[in-house]
A and B are shown apart, each in its own frame.
Chain A
Amino acid sequence: MLPPRLARPSALWGWALLLVGFALLLWFIAAWWHQLEPASQGHKLLLVLGGLLALLGLGRVAQQFAHTPNPLVGFTPAALTLLLILILAEAWLRAYQVPPGLIPTPSRVLSTLLAVRDVLLRDAFQTVVLEALIGYLIGCSLGVITALLVSRYVFLERGLLPYATIFSSIPIVALAPVLVKMMGIDWPSKAAIVAITVFFPMVVNTFRGLTEVSPLSLDLMRSYAAGELQQYRWLRLPNALPFIFNALKLGTTLAMIGAIVGEFFGANGQGLGFRIQIEAGRFGFDIVWSAIIVASLVGIAWYNLVAWIERRLTGWHVSYR
């Protein structure tokens, strides 16, 4: 049953258009499931029509969700958009008979994803847990420790920090072939790439958080006769938390990129990057896309986990109040 608010005429029209559009596209896909010939001009025109109808319908439907408080219900238009894009891609790839060795259809990717999920999960364990996560933990903790030292000792700030700033803005991933050659093809070389990639942004961000403290707060700490340790514990570290979490969130993306790209330069027979490289070379793009989906899902989950911890720990911060 539709909620009563959705039963207004314009919304009903939207749903109707959307349904007709989807029905047209799905009918074509079903009719073309076993065809080996490209579709005729008339069929392609029908696809354009179906796509336009669905798009118009989607526009009307989306307006109904503008003020939905429930985030899950509010996600409906975005989910419908994704569904529309997938169905359109499926229909067009079939209409033009694009070879699967170039672009596989979404349905082919999904069925491949199911068929090879065990191997992809094993690949993901190697890439995500052994390479990205270990490298991330090492790089981030070293980054925080370095930032603590740099903020405490002026000679480090003068001598070291400029390099951290420079290094955090160059693509460290370019080091990947060098590190793989130096440390071998097993997972530690990729963990090292990840650690170095996440290290520098962490140093720079944490340092800013530790030092960009309100002078008034510092004065207050001094008037309480707070020692250096207490200053760090009660003022500098809490102040740095939002900065640290920024670097942590940025690091999740960098870690996945570093681990996957690192595997392109040599791998011990498993890993998402290894799978992507080997299958791209043999035109198995359905598996390549499956591996990309797995990598994306892991990346999104990881980022959101860090964001969730951030909200728990820095709920006092102005951006969450």
Chain B
Amino acid sequence: MKKWSVFAALVVFALVSLASAQQNLVKVNLQLKWFPQAQFAGFFVAKERGFYRAQGLDVTLLPAGDQSPIQVVQSGAADFGTTWIADLLTARERGIPVVHIAQIFQRSGFTLVALKSTGIRDLCRDLKGKSVGVWPSGNEYPAVALFRKCGLTSSLDPRATNPDVTAVTYPFDPALVFPDKVQLVSAMIYNEVNQIAGLGYDESKVDVFKLPDQGINLLEDLIFTTERVLNDRNFKGSGLTGRQVAARLIRATLQGWNWAVANQAETVEKYVLPFCGNTCKGSGTRADAKGHQTWQMAEIAKLYNAGATAKGWAGFLVPADYQASVRLLREQGILTRDPPAATVDYGPWEMATGKRAGDYR
């Protein structure tokens, strides 16, 4: 009896490995920055419409909790990840060998929202003495950069004993702190702004301060990996190098994004809503998941279809934008030195698109 079950298990195992060998797909884990929502529409489209498969990849999209995607990729639990530039560069400065390989969003969507009744008109002038809601895990840097740019210290700074601004952390849902505990709350232009509106604070009652308007234009959703993955000569025994896998991943992902922004309604209906539960809902009167995600998809499309993408260079990290982000982080003391050249690798993107980074004008 026991012998037979062992034998059966072996047969099943052999069949399974045979089947996967025939398909010959390379297993890749990609760590998303947040829970499934339209923010990652391009990745879902690339997976579900078979763009990854066509590139020989079997991609698993891992949803995030409140852990930094960099920690997951660094530990090897994921091969690639999406995150923001400040998070990536500070990790690099602290010795974690992460590498930027493609820039998905060409504009920042970070805002701070305040009730009009608080009388905050000019962020820099009126911030002092206020409480600001921020998200931890590397999502606080845009706010920190703003505080520093305004010459203010905050309780996020471990060297400020008497901070000008109190930074309040909370589990991401703005309803937990706004407007009772904080005067200003972090809100992505494609998500929390609508949630706050759903709670009864729409544009007639709140001011939305876009951080890019304040000179804080830090690049957001990008694809990164580690030097270990890139320099792998034989990625997971597939016969492909790490760079080749990265290039295929970028090619299929950009294909997915282009499809998603061109077919937004279908994307939300078929490729976003089936993959997200509660996390796709808005709040209050705008709680309906379909409505919220449709709106989010439109906002996301604006962040994707800007800058280099609009010139037909989707996924390209514009060197000037990168330098601007680095300069801002240096000026505000968030970085103490320029990141090494190896922090950005255009190789996989060039391989994926057939363009040359030096040709960008």
> A: which residues have CB within 8 A of B?
98-102, 115-116, 118-120, 122, 177, 180-181, 184-186, 265-270, 274-275, 277-279, 281-284, 287
CA–CA, A269 to B184, complex, Å? 14
Q: A119-B160, A266-B177 are in contact. List 7 more A-B contacts (CB 8 A).
A: A98-B95, A99-B94, A122-B161, A185-B181, A186-B181, A268-B168, A269-B169
Please state if A269 and B136 are interface contacts (CB–CB under 8 Å): no
Q: How far is the CB of B309 from chain A (nearest CB, A)?
A: 29
Chain A residues within 8 Å of B94, by CB: 99-101, 283-284
CA–CA, A181 to B170, complex, Å? 9
> B: which residues have CB within 8 A of A?
66, 68, 70, 74, 87, 90-91, 93-97, 131, 136-141, 154-156, 158-161, 163, 166-171, 176-177, 180-181
Chain B residues within 8 Å of A118, by CB: 161
Please state if B169 and A277 are interface contacts (CB–CB under 8 Å): yes
CA–CA, A116 to B158, complex, Å? 6
Partner pick for A269 among B68, B93, B163, CB 8 A cutoff? B163
Please state if B181 and A184 are interface contacts (CB–CB under 8 Å): yes
Q: List 17 A-B contacts (CB under 8 A).
A: A100-B95, A101-B93, A118-B161, A119-B158, A184-B180, A185-B168, A265-B171, A266-B171, A267-B168, A268-B131, A268-B181, A269-B131, A269-B166, A269-B168, A270-B155, A281-B137, A281-B139
Please state if B168 and A101 are interface contacts (CB–CB under 8 Å): no
Q: How far is the CB of B228 from chain A (nearest CB, A)?
A: 13
CA–CA, A307 to B167, complex, Å? 38
Chain A residues within 8 Å of B91, by CB: 101, 283
Please state if A119 and B171 are interface contacts (CB–CB under 8 Å): no
Smallest CB-CB separation from A270: which chain B residue? B155
CA–CA, A99 to B137, complex, Å? 19
Please state if A177 and B181 are interface contacts (CB–CB under 8 Å): no
Chain A residues within 8 Å of B176, by CB: 181, 185, 266
Q: How far is the CB of B283 from chain A (nearest CB, A)?
A: 14
CA–CA, A219 to B166, complex, Å? 63
Known: A266-B169, A268-B181. A281 touches B161 (CB 8 A): no
Chain B residues within 8 Å of A282, by CB: 68, 87, 90, 137-138, 140-141
Partner pick for A102 among B95, B136, B141, B169, CB 8 A cutoff? B95
Q: How far is the CB of B132 from chain A (nearest CB, A)?
A: 9
CA–CA, A267 to B160, complex, Å? 17
Q: How far is the CB of A274 from chain B (nearest CB, A)?
A: 6
Q: How far is the CB of B227 from chain A (nearest CB, A)?
A: 12
Q: How far is the CB of A183 from chain B (nearest CB, A)?
A: 11
Q: Is the interface of B mostly helix, strand, loop or mixed?
A: loop
Known: A99-B95, A265-B171, A269-B169. A278 touches B140 (CB 8 A): yes
Known: A102-B96, A185-B170. A115 touches B136 (CB 8 A): no
CA–CA, A148 to B96, complex, Å? 57
Smallest CB-CB separation from A181: which chain B residue? B176
Please state if B96 and A119 are interface contacts (CB–CB under 8 Å): no
Chain A residues within 8 Å of B140, by CB: 278, 281-282
Q: How far is the CB of B144 from chain A (nearest CB, A)?
A: 9
CA–CA, A284 to B130, complex, Å? 25
CA–CA, A115 to B154, complex, Å? 17
Q: Which of B93, B94, B97, B163 has the most CB of A within 10 A?
A: B94
Chain B residues within 8 Å of A265, by CB: 171
Chain A residues within 8 Å of B95, by CB: 98-102
Q: How far is the CB of A309 from chain B (nearest CB, A)?
A: 33
Smallest CB-CB separation from B132: which chain A residue? A269
Chain A residues within 8 Å of B136, by CB: 277-278, 281
Please state if B155 and A284 are interface contacts (CB–CB under 8 Å): no
CA–CA, A163 to B254, complex, Å? 57
Q: How far is the CB of A193 from chain B (nearest CB, A)?
A: 15
Chain A residues within 8 Å of B154, by CB: 269
Chain B residues within 8 Å of A115, by CB: 159
Q: How far is the CB of B152 from chain A (nearest CB, A)?
A: 13
Smallest CB-CB separation from B169: which chain A residue? A267
CA–CA, A122 to B95, complex, Å? 29
Chain B residues within 8 Å of A120, by CB: 158
Q: How far is the CB of B106 from chain A (nearest CB, A)?
A: 25
Q: Which of B136, B138, B156 has the most CB of A within 10 A?
A: B136
Closest 4 CB pairs of A and B: A99-B95, A101-B94, A281-B137, A269-B155
Partner pick for B96 among A177, A268, A283, CB 8 A cutoff? A283
CA–CA, A99 to B136, complex, Å? 22
Known: A185-B176, A266-B171, A268-B168. A284 touches B158 (CB 8 A): yes
Smallest CB-CB separation from B161: which chain A residue? A118
Q: How far is the CB of B157 from chain A (nearest CB, A)?
A: 8
Please state if A269 and B167 are interface contacts (CB–CB under 8 Å): yes
Q: How far is the CB of A254 from chain B (nearest CB, A)?
A: 23
Chain B residues within 8 Å of A122, by CB: 161
Chain A residues within 8 Å of B74, by CB: 102
Q: How far is the CB of B48 from chain A (nearest CB, A)?
A: 31
Chain B residues within 8 Å of A177, by CB: 171
